[in-house]
Structure 1
Amino acid sequence: MDGKLTDLEPVRIEAGELTGENTLNPYLQGFYEGTNRETTALDLEVIGEIPKDLHGGYYRNGPNPVRAPSDMHHWFDGDGMLHGILFEDGKAQYRNRFVRTDDFIAEQNGTLEAGGVMLPAHRNRPDKVYKDTANTDVIMHNGQLMALWYVSGTPVRVDPVTLDTIGNESFGGKLPRNVSAHSKVDPETGEFVFFDYSLYEPWMSFGVVNAKNELTNFQRVELPGPRLPHDMGLTKNYAILHDLPVIFSESGMRKSMWNITNSGEPARFGVVPRNGTGDQIRWFETEPCYIYHVINSWEEGDEVIMAACKMVPNGLAKDPKYGPYAAHVNVMALHAVPVEWRMNMRTGEIKMRQLDDRIGEFPVINLDYAAKKTRWSYHVSMAPTDLQKFDGMIKYDLITGDAVEHKYEPGVYGSEPAFAPRIGAKGEDDGYVVVFVTDEASRTSEARIIDARNFDAGPVARVLLPARVPAGFHGTWVRGDQLVA
């Protein structure tokens, strides 16, 4: 952080006012309302003391509409915005930037051909039938961040210090189609393992990009019909693909609308050698369920293990005060519990074990341990409300199922956190959990640093931010040595 890099001048875009039925959409207002200012802040007020052994960057992606939408708007439709805070030598810098996707630029120019997921799909765009926002996930690979979109879109490279958009990533022009959010990076090999799926065709695919950014494998996997997977698993030798019973309804398929239904079929996990072929996949059937987010996956002898958050019914009624958005609100109230599946590659047997009955989601781990056996994971805890709000975090022992909770003050809600190993860490949970939180009443935000081994205590430091961080999606941690490299 020597100040030699130049930033974009802070930008403000006039957002406009909500009109019509969008005045009933809670995911455009209050805690969820986007910020229309790009900010750079190099001198931040700190309550407490930022640990000197904390070095790196915490980033979080999320939907942030540039303009007030006039059509029906899903929370997932908002333009991608990255929020990032860099720590070094007990000091911090904060920046936020829009991810300048092709569709972001086209919308500014008035040439955008596709809308959000509550509108008819633009089937004349064969590879992207909805607006591609890169608003969902953010990962580090080959020295740069990549912003990714959940419906499979174009990966967008971003500078991890300035957050300036570098440009689209095609892996040397060899990317066959798109990349979905929740693709994985192997910390030992530097490989990026991704998956892609087609909304209206019966197949999905997976691929491998090496540490030099070269596409080394790409394979197609045939399916019984179009599917809507959200995440994948990765182990030392395998990718784990999801064939889940939440699919487009027949009416949705005919009308090219995002209209989903539960088929009642078993959930299937496809274990395939990451450098193998699509026809080498082995499917393991389990009870019907949906999974948004995988905790981690690894191998033990003949078994491939995947820990994930399994959705359970939320028990909430659709509230008529949200008008046409009542169903959207109900679906967004994520209720999930941590579950482990063990798939035996020799016998074909699959076993499921629920670790806890607390409601949580958005799990994160120490990314240095991704794709190998982990003991600890950190989940957001869901507030008892009909909207998606994170009122704290839960640290899980994945072996015993024991948990420790860290709760925020009333009216303060968090983001997906990230685990930050301390410099010279001696173990998997030797470090800090970093998270953005926002006070809903005061509309102020801060970054908090929590000692992972003293998880239920207060933060060791609170970094006050000059910009509000709206509710959003996924985050990551990048070690300081990776930033230097």
Structure 2
Amino acid sequence: APTAGRGAAAAAGPDRFPFLEGAFEPVTEELTAFDLPVTGRIPRDLDGRYLRTGPNVLGLEDPRAHHWMLGEGMVHGVRLRGGRAEWYRNRWVRSAGVSAKLGERYPGPSPVPEDDFACNTHVIPYKGRILAMQESGPAPYELDGDLNTLRPYDFRGSLEGAFTAHTKFDARADELHAITYYPTWDHVRHLVVDHTGRVARTTRIPVADSPMMHDFALTEKHVVIFDVPVTFDLAAAERGDAVPYIWNDKHPARVGVLPRNAPNASAIRWFEMDPTYYSHTLNAYDEGNSVVVDLVTMPAPFYAAGRGSDGPTALGTPSLERWTVNLARGQVKTRVIDDRPQEFPRVNESLVSRRHRYAYTAGAAAMWQAYLTADGVPPDRSFTNVLVKHDLLRDSTQVHRFPKDAAVGEAVFVPSEKHSAEDDGYTLAYAHDPERGAADLVILSAQDFTAEPLARIHLPGRVPLGFHGSWVPS
């Protein structure tokens, strides 16, 4: 395993740091560019901002002590309006530490040290605001339309404790849901932010061993949480390990289903499963007496920070699965939808918590091979530089392939102005252009997924592989 206080990158050897190289190499400056050049035509009904965030370490002193997940967050954005790409900007999220490194004033009250982190995992629109978020950490940071950090945002003073990176917004109920956790808690919390923008309900759900709960699922009637054997390790934290979460064979894997209208946590039902790890939820819905969840999983055991040089079993590759929780029979049935390595599943956001047909994923070979390279495993590029559209009704896929070394990231679905069908719209993603040495914002027709892009917007610099993003409509 990596030595104490070191991340997966350190295990690759003294001269190899996969998460500081190639598609992951951090950018070193903030850029602003106007009237971006375009190949093709930008649909005129795209009026808003495409934003995506990820780790972009600032002021790294010792690469051996660095872990990619802990790099300071940087948001990359493109403003589209009237068939034009008005601007591109990239900006670090201003935590107190980032502000100090940049010689600026921190835009908020002084945080406690453990909450001072430039959120790097997700960026979402919420009631006219733009929020940069981090799991098991500080309150979100609010950004303005030009990606400047305004202040920490605590939902009008109603947020207590840690927040999360993966919320679920039920548009029909006008509710924002979250599952939050923290290493010192003996529980996780289900939060409901109501139509007023305040945390209206908090349900504390007892769990043992402080498990990592990166994501969850929401249906019209239920909240679904995943209690898996990746748990907080105090000894690792005291050693200074970058990611103090370990695979814990003594912690059972289980799925919890809590009615959304339950008065307290006593109504939750737990269903045991074979050991596994999940990463991200696509979506979930109720079907008769069952709850159906589509999500990305990794085989057991899963090592959050890589494992050193233990061979190809050190970290399995992710695949798309469907879990059906039969509430009447007390059973969980799992089915692999697609076993090719893929990550970052996205759905038409208007269908969150309701039945969906289509899913969009990104070929994950580039990201996971960086972990495996850190573990001493030769790279396998058999399914990378692709975006995938899944038709879950017909059990079919369409694959849009990008050139070698395109390092395409998560795709976000944006509905068209008419939005006459679930897939009537566009998918947007950043992809590297190796010939220019810079990134493009690529716009695909979701209904003509394998065709040439409708538009490629040429950005002035690189966008490193990162995490999650959103479309923020005007």
Which of 196, 199, 221 is the aligned partner of 1:212? 196
Of 84, 88, 94, the residue aligned with 1:94 is 88
Q: Which residue of 2 aligns with 1:339?
A: 321
Label 1:358 to 1:411 Cα distance change in 2 as closer, same or farther (>3 A). Answer: same
Q: 1:59 corresponds to which residue?
A: 51
Q: CA deviation at 1:462?
A: 0.5
Aligned to 2:160: 176
Match of 1:79 in 2: 72
Give the superposition deviation at 1:309. Answer: 0.6
Q: Secondary structure at the match of 2:370?
A: coil
Question: In the TM superposition, what is the alpha-carbon distance from 1:330 to its structure 2 partner?
Answer: 7.9
1:84-128 alpha-carbon deviations (Å, 9 max, x no partner): 11222211132211111234335557999xxxxxxxxxxxx9987
Q: Give the match for residue 222 of structure 1.
A: 206
Which residue pairs with 1:354 in the alignment? 336
Q: Larger deviation: 186-195 or 408-417?
A: 186-195
Distance in 2, Cα, partners of 1:79 & 1:327: 27
Inter-partner Cα distance in structure 1 for 2:468 and 2:311: 19
Match of 1:280 among 262, 267, 288: 267
The residue aligned with 1:24 is 16
User: How has the CA–CA distance of structure 1 residues 367 and 334 changed in structure 2, closer, same or farther, with 3 Å as cutoff?
Assistant: farther
Residue of structure 2 in register with 1:297 after alignment: 284
CA deviations over 1:444-482 (Å, ceiling 9, x no partner): 111011111111122111100112111111111223xxx
Residues 385-394 or 188-197, more deviating: 385-394
1:247 paired residue number: 231
Conserved 8 A contact 2:49-2:78: yes
Specify every segment of 5 or more residues in structure 2 that has no aligned partner in the other structure, as ranges.
1-9, 372-380
Give the whole-Å Cα distance in 2 for the aligned partners of 1:476 and 1:327: 36
Given the alignment, which residue of 451, 457, 463 partners 1:457? 451
1:411 partner SS: coil
Q: Deviations over 1:205-238 (max 9, x none)?
A: 1101123211110121111221111111111222
Aligned residue pairs total 443
The corresponding residue for 1:371 is 353
After TM superposition, list the pairs within 5 Å mapping 1:50-449 onto structure 2.
50-70=42-62, 72-92=65-85, 93-106=87-100, 129=114, 132-159=117-144, 161-249=145-233, 251-252=235-236, 255=239, 257=241, 258-263=244-249, 265-276=251-262, 277-312=264-299, 326=308, 335-383=317-365, 386-387=369-370, 390-440=384-434, 442-449=436-443
1:300-348 C-alpha deviation (Å, 9 max, x unpaired): 12211111011137999x9xxxxx9946998997611111111223332
- Mapped pair 1:33 → 2:25: yes
Query: What's the counterpart of residue 374 of structure 2?
Result: none
Q: What letter corresponds to residue 80 of structure 1 in structure 2? A: G
How far did residue 250 of structure 1 move? 6.9
Instruction: Give the distance between the partners of 1:97 and 1:253, measured in 2 at CA.
Output: 30
Change (3 A) 1:353 1:149: same
CA RMSD of aligned residues (A): 3.2
DSSP 3-state at the match of 1:387? helix
1:53 Cα deviation (Å)?
A: 2.6
Please, which moves more after superposition, 102-111 or 49-58?
102-111
461 and 253 in structure 1: CA distance in 2 versus 1, 3 angstrom threshold? closer
Cα distance in 2 between the residues matched to 1:334 and 1:80: 26
- The AA in structure 2 aligned to 1:364 is R
Report deviation, 1:378.
Answer: 0.5
- Taking the aligned partners of 1:110 and 1:90, their CA distance within structure 2 comes to 36
Deviations 1:276-300 (A, max 9, x none): 3222211122221101101101111
User: Per the alignment, in what secondary structure is the counterpart of residue 279 of structure 1?
Assistant: helix
Against the structure 1 CA distance between its residues 427 and 127, is the aligned structure 2 distance closer, same or farther, given a 3 Å change threshold? farther
Q: Residue 430 of structure 1: CA displacement?
A: 0.5
Q: How far is the alpha carbon of 1:46 from its aligned partner? A: 0.5
**CA offsets, 1:327-382, max 9 Å, x none?**
69989976111111112233322221211222111111111111111110110112
Secondary structure of the equivalent of 1:414? coil
Query: What does the per-residue CA deviation read over 1:43-87, in whole Å, with 9 as the maximum and x for residues that have no partner?
Result: 010001111232332110101112123260000111111111122
Letter in 2 for 1:76: M
Could you tell which deviates more after superposition, 285-294 or 143-152? 143-152
CA distance 1:347–1:102, change in 2 (3 Å): farther
Whole-Å separation in 2 of the counterparts to 1:66 and 1:340:
39
| Structure 1: stretches of 5+ with no match in the other structure | 1-17, 113-124, 319-323
Instruction: State the Cα distance separating 1:269 from its structure 2 match.
Output: 1.5
Cα deviation 1:14-39 (Å, max 9, x = unaligned): xxxx9xx8753221233212223222
User: How many angstroms apart in 2 are the aligned matches of 1:164 and 1:329?
Assistant: 43
Summarize the Cα distance change of 1:280–1:127 in structure 2 as closer, same or farther, 3 Å threshold: farther
**Of residues 31, 34, 37 in structure 2, which corresponds to 1:45?**
37
Give the TM-score, by structure 1 length: 0.83
What is the SS of the residue equivalent to 1:167? strand
Check conservation: 1:217, 1:275, Cα contact below 8 A. Answer: no
Q: Measured at CA, do residues 470 and 256 of structure 1 come closer, stay the same or move farther in structure 2, by a change above 3 Å?
A: closer
| 1:328–1:211 Cα change, 3 Å | farther
Structure 1 residues 106 and 202, CA, compared in 2 at 3 Å: closer, same or farther? farther
The answer to whether the 8 A contact 1:208-1:274 is kept is no
The one-letter code sitting in structure 1 at the alignment partner of 2:36 is L
8 Å Cα contact 1:158-1:165 kept in structure 2: yes
